[in-house]
Structure 1
Amino acid sequence: MSTPHFAVSVIALAVLNSFVGAAMAEEADQPLPEVVVSAVKARASTASIGGFSNASLLSTPASLNVITSQQMLDLQIRSTTDAARYDASLSDAYNAVGYAEQFSIRGFKLDNASSYRKDGMTIAGDTQIALENKERLEVLKGLSGLQAGVSAPGGVLNYVTKRPTDNPIRMVVLETRERGTLYGAADVGGRFEDTRFGYRVNVAAERLRSIVKGADGNRKFISGAFDWRISPQALLQIDADYQRKSQLTAPGFQLLNNTTLPVIDADTMLNDQPWSRPVETTSSNIGARFEYTFSPEWKATVSANQNTFKRDDYTAFPYGCSAQELFPGFCGNGDYDVYNYISKGEKKSPLTVQALLQGRFNGGAMTHEVTFGSSLMRNREKWGDDLYDYSGVSNIYNPVVVPPAPGTSGPVSERRYTNERSLFAQDIVSLIEQLKLHAGARYVQVRRNQYVGENDAGVIQPNALTDAGFWLPSVALVYGLRPNVSLYTSYAQGLEHGGVAPKGALNERQALEPAKSKQVELGVKADIRNDLSATLALFQIRKGLEYVDNASNMFVRNGEAQNRGLEMGLNGRATRELTVGITATALSTKQSGTGLASLDGKRVTNVAAFKSSVFADYAVPQVQGLNVSANWQYSGKKAFDAENTVFVPKYHLMNFAAAYSTRIGGVATTVRAGIDNAFDKFYWRDVTPDLGGYLIPGASRTGRISAQFDF
């Protein structure tokens, strides 16, 4: 069934149910039940990513942000890109329309192979991760060596799956956006007649009409989660999901003459050849979790998840200017070279298994909360040699049709195999009533076999092999200044896979060895009220610097990248009518130790020195059910290149929205409408050094309207 037809079917089902409900009420000649409006908790108070089970945000010695499924509904969040506008530490990192959503945290780009998690299990972050079956999105900022093992130093995004509920859920959401996007989703859950068994099913379909002209496509998603309460002590949970997405991708822009920012419309499409094809991706998960409670103090958990990602990648790719011998860089008149890029059959299949034993006991005058665990992550990555051949010249202002270079990508084979085995332990010791020591460590054995292939002389090079073990300690002190205020200080080490040499480097496709990073952090957290919290964190992260050395044209690790920052947040219900979400990040990035004047002391690319997001929602007391809201986003200027010769300007954005809750035909209904970038501001949203350096503009003014039906 095509996506438009599926979406129309969902709409028809919702309307039919609305009228059926109304008809049944009228036949029964009964008055409609009284509408009861209950306050929804405005913020999350726990998260699982900061520890190995749900833990209080107040007592967790780390900077965390949690966006709940209710907030996703209220804010009309359909993707992680939408969610990122409400967290100043989370930024785009070559997040091209129609391609993989890619992000950075605290100025460090996340690793698609290790920084994205589902229920704590590794998943490939090479596509838009569906939110329809997610109970919450957890953002752990900073090193996660103890919690996650191998991951980028910026942090981890953890997507927590929706589970069956005791109370029935019957919800349909329909949405349209001004360029023609249609969206339909349904969420159904509850328990069977035998209440030991529960279910949760989510389906969604989307006809995508992009903010960039022609970058259109569609998306389909389905998921199911089931649990079995085997006994009061034993719980078995199983879940599965599948997503298929097809969309033309919108590549970014390069500098004119490799010196000047281009002046273009935000909806300009460079991948606009008649032979352009959409990027086709499919992704799926099969997960299982068994929990057994031995006593109120002790429990054991075994979890597993198999993630599968497949992609056929096609792009009429813009790069360079042959006429002026610029590589990278577009010609001064807007001309650019077009390449036919094809990479079919890409596949990643990370499998994660984890076992935990957790408990609490008293040792003398001290209380211990301990976690012992073991995990395995295995990932097989397959692809073939891509086609990347020159096809002709087009122009950003006056597009030109060019014939595609002939051919296709080569046979697919396994090119990278990763095996990570970990043992870890953590002890949270109550030294005195107000002071807790969090001490833990993870030992990771990393084995990786990386295909290299031929060198410039056509000689097959041996595979790059890694087989090494790493200790990742973590220690923190948490002091309860008051029952609702905590102070913490922490030190942690992290581990990330070495970068892979990009196209054009002499050691192209070769991977560097894994590298450790180090972090110190100070923070304060306060629950000002039951539904309002404030946080402040000061941190420093250091890691090895990776770059292509211009003198040798080799991809190397040399010198150090240091990011120091201050994060603050205020989230929750400020008054009965006013809900706020305020985040701000001040970040100082510094490169040193390379011996190169072009790098040492320079700011890191695509990182603003200051970024903030202010959100406010007001429940209008004079009109029951009406809420109005506004969101102000600010980003300081960002460096385009490592030498800091070009910066993109700072920008301010305003977004407005309103929601009205009522009953239609006996069905609880919430209508939401919003307008993003209300003043139609042009801005460069994303400035990436990848692939020679690209600029991606932000969306122009966009309106949207949705309706939520709770049957």
Structure 2
Amino acid sequence: MSTPQFAVSAAALAVFQAFAMPATAAEQAMTEVIVSGSRIASAHASVAGFGDAPLLQTPASVSVLSSQQMYDRDIRSTTDAARYDASISDAYNAVGYAEQFSIRGFKLDNASSYRKDGLAIPGDTQIPLENKERIEVLKGLGGLQAGLAAPGGIVNYATKRPTTGALRSVLLEVRERGTVYGAVDLGGRFEDSRFGYRVNAAAERLRSYIKGADGNRKFVSAAVDWQISPQALLQIDADYQTKSQVSAPGFQLIGGTDLPRVAADTMLNNQPWSKPVETTSSNLGVRFEYRFSPEWKATFSANQHHFKRDDYTAFPYGCSAQNLFPGFCSNGDYDVYDYVSLGEKKSPLAAQAMLQGRFATGALRHEFTGGASFYKNSEKWGDDVYEYIEQPSNIYHPVAVQPSGLSSGPVTERRSDNERALFAQDIVGLSETLKLHAGVRYAQVKRDEFVRAGFANAKIDSGFWLPNVALVYSPQDKLALYGSYAQGLEHGGIAPKKTSNQNRALDPSKSKQLEVGVKSELTPDLSVSAALFQIRKGLEYTDDTSNTFVRNGVEQHRGLELAINGKLSRALAVGASAAALNTQQSGTGRAELDGKRVTNVAAFKSTVYADYAVPQLAGLKLNANWQYSGKKAFDKENTLMVPAYHVVNLGAAYATRIAGTATTLRAHVDNAFDKFYWRDVTPDLGGYLFPGAKRTFRVSAQFDL
């Protein structure tokens, strides 16, 4: 069955099921589903602690995007969501490959920085949002909460759970270049109300703004709850996704010095033998909660993830004619490599057990959390093909070249990780206005890594203490000021291709963070926040002299984040964030590096979103989003700065009834003024540039049955 047929069939099934219910069920209070409430943004998140904590009292910078906001803004991927937070940027986010991001200027770790319900999952393919209730972003170190994670922060995806009342929702969308999307969301309780269910399904025919980067995606998930007793709750969820899409490589500098002048839809992976990148991913999650009393509870959660990828790419790199590596030739020629890596697999298993409670010791009030976590992962792949093709192609005049005809080698385990940790945190109420957050995690990290034939395997077995301490001062109920100190831990970066130690991971390293911030709820519907921070970690780069990937010197990021979210009036809702970053490399002993800016990090970014309910026509809303990014350094020596850019997105939504069914019609135009810009300036693989999407129109219809 083709993807469009799958989407339409899934939608039809949802409609049929909704209307084919017994009359007794239809007579219940479920004639329509209305999303209401004064808040347009979540006031709670779990990503910055060990529970669903109020954001106002959380001593960290956190942003939350709810499922309703994702509907209103037509968000289909994390890439779409990232445009609403100035602290998040693309980091080798190639169309058709894996969505990859940075937070506060630090690239996230695909193995540990992405979380599903607090447990690590790999970010090696598009993480589906159809079964996600919200996206939570912790900006800054998450050593206490997560153990291993990049210092920039953590992205946590909270899974949708069964609804109390019946939910039947269908969503259909079409984009101008032929992308067709369909999704269904079903939820409710069984006849025995102790049991609840949530089912999500989606299918998508992908037609990218880049010519030829086409494909398809299919997704299905289910979640069930069982209220075993008033004290005991069991939750189980599972999902499965397949995605097939031709990937779009980035561009290198012309002559090794100048930015290319190309159309945003130019495709370099356009050989007759180019094939889609094929990925499958799945999750099986379980969570059990038992309440001993109103003050004490225990929880256990686990998630098993499976990931498989077949990667085919006609990959552009360098110019042999001018001995440029990296860099394209002055006339636009570039070398073509036949890249094939089949059967790549990852199978991470994560689990966590916690005991949480409240108690008092004299005048001091305590909120205690203690627990243990476990993580293991096996990575398997074969020796890939990265074969140089004698004939070059050209970015302006593509040339068909012959493939190598080779295939990657047998798949074996190449890397295994094991992390065991104990953690504890106590939030002590020192007075009515002052709280002390004190916590520590001890992480035992093991890694076995196959280097290459003839060499001994690399082994790591080390323990790390990760302290975290913060003070929160609340002089008023709706105002909080905080200061914090934290240490984080991350696996070392993996040496890229063409280096002397390629595919070898560096040892784990620690990072340190100082942060002060203020948060306020100006009204029940409007919140503001500001955070000032400094993060320091070891600098990792490819040493040009030895052609070796090394950790040497210090990478320091100092920044200021500002955010406002909520309603300015009954008709006008806003969301705005800004991030100013000063990044600096130091301590390398190399004049061409020390004192220079970190690559692919803008000194200033901002994003503003506004949604206006037109009073003259009930149900009509107009919205707009304006993004700005300052210039970025292309290389670690800062010899080239990539220009700043502005992007404007416009939209409208109209809520009405069609044949008695609650219906929301939406229309959006992304990059409304069709501006060309370089959205991603990654240093990976010698340095690549990725253009932003051209102007794109899309329309959708949501039916709540």
Using the size of structure 1 for normalisation, the TM-score is 0.96
Q: Which whole-Å CA distance do the structure 2 matches of 1:667 and 1:129 have between them?
A: 31
Aligned-partner residue type, residue 370 of structure 2? F
Residue 209 of structure 1 is matched in structure 2 by 207
Aligned-partner residue type, residue 199 of structure 2? V
CA contact (8 A) 1:164 1:225 kept: yes
* Partner-residue secondary structure (3-state), 2:80: helix
Residue 404 of structure 2 is matched in structure 1 by 405
* Partner-residue secondary structure (3-state), 2:292: strand
Residue 427 of structure 1 is matched in structure 2 by 426
Residue 157 of structure 1 is matched in structure 2 by 155
1:427-478 per-position Cα deviation (integer Å, ceiling 9, x unaligned): 0000011000000000000000011104xxxxx1111110000000000000
Aligned-partner residue type, residue 423 of structure 2? F
Q: Which whole-Å CA distance do the structure 2 matches of 1:304 and 1:498 have between them?
A: 25
1:195-252 per-position Cα deviation (integer Å, ceiling 9, x unaligned): 0000000000000000100100000000000010000000000000000000000000
Q: Which whole-Å CA distance do the structure 2 matches of 1:256 and 1:452 have between them?
A: 34
| Counterpart selection for 1:701 from 681, 695, 704 | 695
Moved more, 515-524 or 460-469: 460-469
Q: Which whole-Å CA distance do the structure 2 matches of 1:95 and 1:111 have between them?
A: 13
Q: Which whole-Å CA distance do the structure 2 matches of 1:40 and 1:477 have between them?
A: 30
Is residue 2:130 matched to residue 1:132? yes
Residue 173 of structure 1 is matched in structure 2 by 171
CA contact (8 A) 1:43 1:532 kept: no
Q: 1:197 to 1:2 in 2, by over 3 A?
A: same
Residue 457 of structure 1 is matched in structure 2 by none
1:128-152 per-position Cα deviation (integer Å, ceiling 9, x unaligned): 0000000000000000000000000
* Partner-residue secondary structure (3-state), 1:76: coil
Q: Which whole-Å CA distance do the structure 1 matches of 2:50 and 2:348 have between them?
A: 20
Map 1:485-524 onto structure 2 (within 5 A). Answer: 485-524=479-518
| TM-superposed deviation, 1:550 | 1.6
| TM-superposed deviation, 1:511 | 2.0
1:454-509 per-position Cα deviation (integer Å, ceiling 9, x unaligned): 4xxxxx11111100000000000000021000000000000000112222222222
Residue 464 of structure 1 is matched in structure 2 by 458
Residue 6 of structure 2 is matched in structure 1 by 6
Q: Which whole-Å CA distance do the structure 1 matches of 2:157 and 2:36 have between them?
A: 27
* Partner-residue secondary structure (3-state), 2:56: coil
| TM-superposed deviation, 1:70 | 0.5
Moved more, 504-513 or 263-272: 504-513
CA contact (8 A) 1:14 1:709 kept: no
1:613-660 per-position Cα deviation (integer Å, ceiling 9, x unaligned): 000000011100000011100000001111111111100111100000
Residue 122 of structure 1 is matched in structure 2 by 120
Q: Which whole-Å CA distance do the structure 2 matches of 1:702 and 1:34 have between them?
A: 32
Residue 442 of structure 1 is matched in structure 2 by 441
Map 1:644-659 onto structure 2 (within 5 A). Answer: 644-659=638-653
Q: 1:532 to 1:229 in 2, by over 3 A?
A: same
Q: Which whole-Å CA distance do the structure 1 matches of 2:403 and 2:198 have between them?
A: 46
Is residue 2:300 matched to residue 1:302? yes
1:62-118 per-position Cα deviation (integer Å, ceiling 9, x unaligned): 000000000000000000000000000010000000000000000000000010000
Q: Which whole-Å CA distance do the structure 2 matches of 1:683 and 1:571 have between them?
A: 27
CA contact (8 A) 2:337 2:386 kept: yes
CA contact (8 A) 2:64 2:137 kept: yes
1:309-364 per-position Cα deviation (integer Å, ceiling 9, x unaligned): 11000000000111111111000000001110000000011100100000000101
Residue 226 of structure 1 is matched in structure 2 by 224
| TM-superposed deviation, 1:165 | 1.0
Map 1:276-675 onto structure 2 (within 5 A). Answer: 276-391=274-389, 392-454=391-453, 460-675=454-669
Q: Which whole-Å CA distance do the structure 2 matches of 1:36 and 1:165 have between them?
A: 13
CA contact (8 A) 1:361 1:369 kept: yes
Q: 1:14 to 1:113 in 2, by over 3 A?
A: closer
Aligned-partner residue type, residue 5 of structure 1? Q
Aligned-partner residue type, residue 63 of structure 2? N
Using the size of structure 2 for normalisation, the TM-score is 0.97
CA contact (8 A) 1:341 1:387 kept: yes
1:170-213 per-position Cα deviation (integer Å, ceiling 9, x unaligned): 00000000000000000000100000000000000000000100
* Partner-residue secondary structure (3-state), 2:57: coil
| TM-superposed deviation, 1:530 | 1.0
CA contact (8 A) 2:32 2:661 kept: no
1:403-436 per-position Cα deviation (integer Å, ceiling 9, x unaligned): 1012100000000000000000000000011000
Q: Which whole-Å CA distance do the structure 2 matches of 1:490 and 1:34 have between them?
A: 46
Aligned-partner residue type, residue 402 of structure 2? P
CA contact (8 A) 1:464 1:511 kept: no
Q: Which whole-Å CA distance do the structure 2 matches of 1:15 and 1:470 have between them?
A: 53
* Partner-residue secondary structure (3-state), 1:337: strand
| TM-superposed deviation, 1:604 | 0.6
Q: Which whole-Å CA distance do the structure 1 matches of 2:533 and 2:252 have between them?
A: 33
Q: Which whole-Å CA distance do the structure 2 matches of 1:238 and 1:16 have between them?
A: 26
Aligned-partner residue type, residue 398 of structure 2? P
Q: 1:59 to 1:36 in 2, by over 3 A?
A: closer
Identity of aligned residues (%): 70
Q: 1:362 to 1:259 in 2, by over 3 A?
A: same
* Partner-residue secondary structure (3-state), 2:700: strand
Equivalenced residue count is: 698
Aligned-partner residue type, residue 652 of structure 1? H
| TM-superposed deviation, 1:14 | 6.7
| TM-superposed deviation, 1:10 | 3.5
CA contact (8 A) 2:182 2:203 kept: yes
Is residue 2:689 matched to residue 1:689? no
CA contact (8 A) 2:38 2:525 kept: no
Residue 262 of structure 1 is matched in structure 2 by 260
Aligned-partner residue type, residue 424 of structure 2? A
Aligned-partner residue type, residue 4 of structure 1? P
Q: 1:352 to 1:13 in 2, by over 3 A?
A: closer
Aligned-partner residue type, residue 379 of structure 1? N
Q: Which whole-Å CA distance do the structure 2 matches of 1:412 and 1:356 have between them?
A: 37
CA contact (8 A) 2:33 2:167 kept: no
Aligned-partner residue type, residue 81 of structure 1? T
| TM-superposed deviation, 1:35 | 10
Aligned-partner residue type, residue 614 of structure 2? V
Aligned-partner residue type, residue 130 of structure 1? P
CA contact (8 A) 2:11 2:184 kept: no
| TM-superposed deviation, 1:510 | 2.2
Moved more, 517-526 or 445-454: 445-454
* Partner-residue secondary structure (3-state), 1:81: helix
Q: 1:288 to 1:267 in 2, by over 3 A?
A: same
Aligned-partner residue type, residue 420 of structure 2? R
Gapped regions of structure 2 (runs ≥ 5) = none
Aligned-partner residue type, residue 234 of structure 1? A
Aligned-partner residue type, residue 473 of structure 1? P
Q: Which whole-Å CA distance do the structure 2 matches of 1:79 and 1:40 have between them?
A: 26
Aligned-partner residue type, residue 429 of structure 2? S
